[in-house]
Amino acid sequence: MEMKQVSDHCFAVLNEKNRVCDANSGLINLAGGVLIDTQSDLAHARQMIELFSRVWPAMPRRVINTHEDADHVWGNQLFQGAEIIAHRSVPERMKHVADPKESQKLLHGVGHFLTRLVLKTLHPGIVAAGRQLLEDYNFDGIELVLPTTLFDTGYELNLDGTEVHVIYVGPCHQVGDTIIHVPKERVVFAGDVLFRQCAPIGWTGSYEKWFQCLDLIVQLNPKVIVPGHGPLCGVEGAIEMKAYLQYIRDESKKCFDAGLTSLDAAKRIELGPSSEWRAPARLFMNVERAYREFRNEPPDAPWDQAATFDAIYQVAKARGIEAEF
């Protein structure tokens, strides 16, 4: 984990491994401090606080959750008394997708030999993902703390004369997707609508909505974008990710029309430049998402998470690459 200054008053904490749960956070050190996303477990949240304390000595008065996923909200409990800002959909969604009990059970099970043996027989992908998480994370002690200030389409902050625009753009990656724009400093905190140098994951939404969001980021013309995952970038990061998603959707349509399953398509589609990204086998989810659209399924159709991680594992094995999540 490292901290980088991205403008006069904007900072980012980046998780350098860039795998699942390795989410980034942001800080605007004005008017009591604004923190953007709170990390995946308490240890990482405390490390983030220590890094940001070098440029902002107090705990921030405000927290913004860019969406409902666990790796962006599980540090919320450490910011007692802070105003926690998020889209109106986020609190209820957090109860469903960020309940720590299942993740705690998974890591305890994977860490136990006999349980791991049974799980591996049934769901090798879940075991592989759990063992990867155990390298860096401990979900014990996490309590779900929900946002306290909710908005519909947008929320405005004035931080000692610096305007901050909190813009709802979802659903792209998740229902509550929100970006934070600091026009004066030409910075966008993108949350998980932007993954950088790792394959993106989309749980709820549509390709078209995601394209519109990436186009919006480009139109805002930031000098620096802090993605939800991966290293800092400029608008080239949004352009590159849109090109990746367009390519995967187009290739998926060819495979769909040829009668292939989404799993077979994910094993076959050429990775191109994304072969150098972290977790390239995640492309299964982007293929399956395209297939859902081709089948006219609703954008919020639920995922079988065990089957999804198993499919990613199978894609990696079929391609002869590391099973990474």
Q: What DSSP line would sit under 61-99, residue for residue?
A: SEEE-SSS-HHHHTTGGGSTT-EEEEETTHHHHHHHH--
| pLDDT higher at 321 or 111 | 321
Cα–Cα–Cα angle for 291, 311, 192, rounded to 5 degrees = 70
Task: State mean pLDDT over 148-168.
Answer: 98
Give the C-alpha separation, 27 to 21, whole Å: 19
Q: Please say if the pLDDT value at position 7 is more than 80.
A: yes
Q: In what order do the strands lie in the sheet with 2-5?
A: 2-5, 10-14, 25-28, 34-36, 62-64, 83-87, 149-151
Q: Compute the average pLDDT of residues 219-234.
A: 98
> What six digits make up the tokens of 218?
């480009």
Residue 118's pLDDT is what?
A: 66
User: What residue ranges in 183-252 does DSSP mark as E strands?
Assistant: 187-195, 224-229
pLDDT (tens digit per residue) in 118-151: 677 788 999 999 999 999 999 999 999 999 999 9
Confidence of residue 50 (pLDDT cuts 50, 70, 90): very high
Q: Is the pLDDT of residue 48 over 80?
A: yes
Per-residue pLDDT tens over the stretch 178-198: 999 999 999 999 999 999 999
pLDDT above 80: residue 98: yes
- For residues 154 and 165, the answer to whether their CB atoms sit within 8 Å is yes
Confidence (pTM): 0.96
Confidence band for 224, pLDDT divided at 50, 70 and 90: very high
Residues in CB range of 44: below 8 A, 6 or more apart: 1, 15, 75, 137
Q: What is residue 187's predicted lDDT score, i.e. its pLDDT? A: 98
Give the mean pLDDT of 35-53: 98
The yes-or-no verdict on residue 263 having pLDDT over 80 is yes
Q: Are 17 and 5 in contact (CB under 8 A)?
A: no
Average pLDDT, the chain: 96
**What percentage of the chain exceeds 70 in pLDDT?**
99
Is residue 114 predicted with pLDDT exceeding 70?
no
Contact 97, 68 (CB under 8 A): yes
DSSP-based three-state secondary structure for 202 = coil
